[in-house]
Amino acid sequence: MTGLVLMALRYLFLVLFYVLIIWLFRHLIWEMRAVGVRVVAGEGQPELPAPPGPHLVLVEGGGCRVIRVGAMTRIGRGPDNEVVLPRADVWERHARIYLRNGQYWLEDLTPNGDTRLNGLLLDGPTVLADGDRVEVGGATLLFERWPRTVRAGTA
Amino acid sequence: MRRVERVLLLVVGVYLAVGLAVLHGAGFLEGLRVPLVVGGTTVTALLAVHWYWSRSDFRGDSTLFPAVALLAATGLVFLLRLDLEYGLRQFVWLLTGLAVLAVTTGLLRDYRLLAEYQYFWAAAGAAALLAPLIFGQEFGGARSWLKLGAVQFQPSEFAKVFLVVFLAVFLARATGRSETGARLWLPPAGLLVLTLVVLGLQNDIGTAAIYFATLLTLIYAATARVLFVGGGLVLLAAATVALARVAPHVRVRLETWLNPWPQIETHGYQITQSLFAIAAGGITGTGLGAGHPEFVPAAHTDFIFAAVVEELGFLGGAGCILLFVFLVYRGLKIALESEDRFGVLLATGCTALLGWQGFVIMAGVTRLLPLTGVTLPFVSYGGSSLVTSFILLGLLLNISHAGGGSIHEGERREVGPRTAGRLFHPHRASRLPPGGAGARAGGAPL
């Protein structure tokens, strides 16, 4: 009887060893996938894989949306924009981001110039750099030029 | 915060308890006092470190410590099984190591402080290396021990930390100023030659090999030039051949590595016993306490891996290797995530030391490489080695803390205007746009 118990405990020892190792590696994989939610993990939000190309991250009340940026990305309240922001403080056609000579430019389209880049009011079309913060009315968009693979799981 | 760490540590506690129960059942631990005291205190100490980190808002990686705790628990169980006295001493050293870990993550949480005292570390490292040559005593063929009262220790273990810190500071500054040529490679090369000569005189080839590999790793991390690594490897091969001609000690090692069987009764005894033990293990091992690792000389220190493989089998051995792979992966990830050059190099250095040491001894015990006597970090018996390994772990965790730490389940981090850019790309400040500079004043590095 004690022999059986001992044998069971011996196997349990090895099993627990592996339970921990598998757990550690699972956590590692989980963390790799969690890249992107890191930024703003809202309740019940699916984990967002970072798109490979340039994109905008819309940060809004504990949630986030990732929007791809193409050759021309219009931002505004109207439905014909690529990025639709249904807010009172956003103009019908507020701003646009376009690709020229391999660089993304941000241009303000509002009459009174209500677009900010990293906190400063825009003064004519401006080149966007990776990680720039674009404020359109009261909405904030983060511009990311490169995929976040290198900095996976960090912050 | 740190929920994953707490849960994992509790499972490590259960693992340790099962191990102690097996030892008790198999008659290695008489009475209930020893297993209860050892198990209870160890788990309490592990949780105390965890509790301290949670309380002090420590953001260091939350899976490294459980992985290390698993290795340390395995080591403790095997030492209690091999020799009760060694096991109890290891238990005390483990508690010391955990205290040192807590102190390291407390006092040195801002590891950049270390960069202030560049030459102090070089001097301390050199002193720690030279001391045993003058005051030391020989033990097990290696003259690298110092006796202080009742405690014997190996200063060359601590010298590792000092020298890695020095090299990280030096290389971070030198490559930061884009120095090349003699001013870049002369100090590390000089240090390396000194280290190798001293360790050669002490007959401590294993430690010398680890220093060498770590230095090459660091130089590669700092300069990204394969030339240095290639040159270093050529140098190593040349040195080995030359040493084998001059030093009979080294030649014997090489011969017993290539073919231990003719000398099975003499120089090859240890390695062949180790191979027998490993073969006896099979897939799942003989079971804890049911094998005969006591036939392997030095099974409690250098050859503990053979004991683990005999009793836990291929699975146990592969598990140990996986844990070291995990440590190295996390360590290099911490290095990549670090935001300053010194952090990158220090994390690489600490990881390289632990990783190479594990590799050198596991490869030596299984006859993949010539056998060199070093300890298996966190597992083998040895106070100096255990405490040093915990210091290295502490430094790694501090760098991880500065880099933002690991993600915790259900964690929410708001993207504030001050951190927004930095969250993704710390190095973007260097890319200035060709036009519209006026509007970009706010794009300064955060």
A31-50 confidence digits (pLDDT tens): 777 644 333 333 344 445 55
**Does A59 contact chain B (CB < 8 Å)?**
yes
**Residue B324's pLDDT band (cuts 50, 70, 90):** very high
pLDDT at B142 (0 to 100): 60
Q: What sign has the CA pseudo-torsion B217, B271, B74, B377? A: negative
CA distance A153 to B173: 28
User: Using the beta-carbon criterion (under 8 Å), do B67 and A24 form an inter-chain contact?
Assistant: yes
Length of chain A, please? 155
Q: How many alpha carbons fall within 13 Å on the CB side of residue B148? A: 7
Q: Any bridge partners for residue A142, and if so which?
A: A57, A133
Cα distance between residue B236 and residue B254, in whole Å = 14
Residues of B with Cβ-Cβ distance to A103 under 8 angstroms:
433-434
Q: Model confidence at B42, in pLDDT bands (50, 70, 90)?
A: very high
DSSP per-residue letters across B269-307: HHHHHHHHHHHHHTTT-S-TTSS-GGGSTTTTTTTHHHH
B441 versus A71: which is more confidently predicted? A71
Structure tokens at B121: 């570390």
Predicted-complex ipTM score: 0.84
User: Residues of B numbered 329-388 whose beta carbons fall under 8 angstroms of chain A's beta carbons: which are they?
Assistant: 329-330, 333, 336-337
Q: Exposure pattern of B252-264 as b/e (b: 16+ CB <10 Å)?
A: ebebbbeebeeee
Tell me the pTM.
0.75
Query: By the 8 A CB rule, do B17 and B68 touch?
Result: no
Q: B147 pairs with which residues across the strands?
A: B152
Residue B39 has pLDDT above 90, yes or no: yes
The pLDDT of residue B372 is 85
Residue B13: pLDDT band (50, 70, 90) is very high
Residue B155 has pLDDT above 90, yes or no: no
- Looking at every residue in chain B, the average pLDDT score rounds to 84
pLDDT beyond 90 at B118? no
Sole residue written with tokens 């062949």: B272
pLDDT tens for residues B238-282?
888 888 888 887 888 888 899 999 988 888 899 999 999 999 999
What is the C-alpha to C-alpha distance for residues B127 and B124, in angstroms, rounded to an integer? 5
B30: pLDDT confidence band, cut at 50, 70 and 90?
confident
Query: Do A129 and B313 make contact, defined as CB atoms within 8 angstroms?
Result: no
Q: What angle do CA B114, B120, B121 make, to 5 degrees?
A: 65
Task: Inspect the interface and report whether the beta carbons of B315 and A27 lie closer than 8 Å.
Answer: no
Angle at B134 between CA B129 and CA B140, to 5 degrees: 75
What pLDDT is recorded for position B412?
39
Q: Which of B366, B5, B410 is nearest to A37 (CA)?
A: B410
Closest CB from B336, B403, B425 relative to A131: B425
CB contact under 8 A, A41 and B411: yes
Taking CB atoms and an 8 Å cutoff, what residues of chain B touch A142? 415, 420, 424
B404, A6: Cβ pair inside 8 Å? no
Contacts of B228-234 with C-beta under 8 Å, sequence gap 24+, read: B228/B185
Q: How many CB pairs under 8 A join A and B?
A: 173
Name the pLDDT band for B415 (thresholds 50, 70, 90). Answer: very low
Asked whether residue B211 carries a pLDDT value surpassing 90, the answer given is no
Residue type at position B361: I
Q: What residues in B contact A45, CB-CB < 8 Å?
A: none
Whether A16 and B414 lie within 8 Å, measured CB to CB: no
Residues A20, B337: C-beta atoms closer than 8 Å? no
Report the interhelical angle of B205-223 vs B226-246 (nearest 10°). Answer: 160
A81-139, pLDDT tens digit by residue? Answer: 888 887 778 888 889 998 887 788 898 888 888 888 888 888 888 888 888 888 888 88
Q: Does A146 lie at the interface with B, CB-CB under 8 angstroms? A: yes
Looking at residue B358, what is its pLDDT? Answer: 96
Whole-angstrom distance, CA of residue B438 vs CA of residue B422: 21
* Close Cβ partners of B439 (under 8 Å, ≥ 6 residues apart): A117, A120, A121, A122, A123, A124, A126
Contact at CB, A6 and B66, closer than 8 angstroms: no
Residue B144 pLDDT class (50, 70, 90 cuts): low
Residue-wise DSSP of B330-343:
HHHHHHHH-SSHHH
- pLDDT score for B140: 57
Residues of chain A contacting residue B407, judged by C-beta atoms under 8 Å apart: 31, 34, 38, 153, 155
Disruptive mutation site among B334, B337, B425 for chain A (greatest number of A CBs within 10 Å)? B425
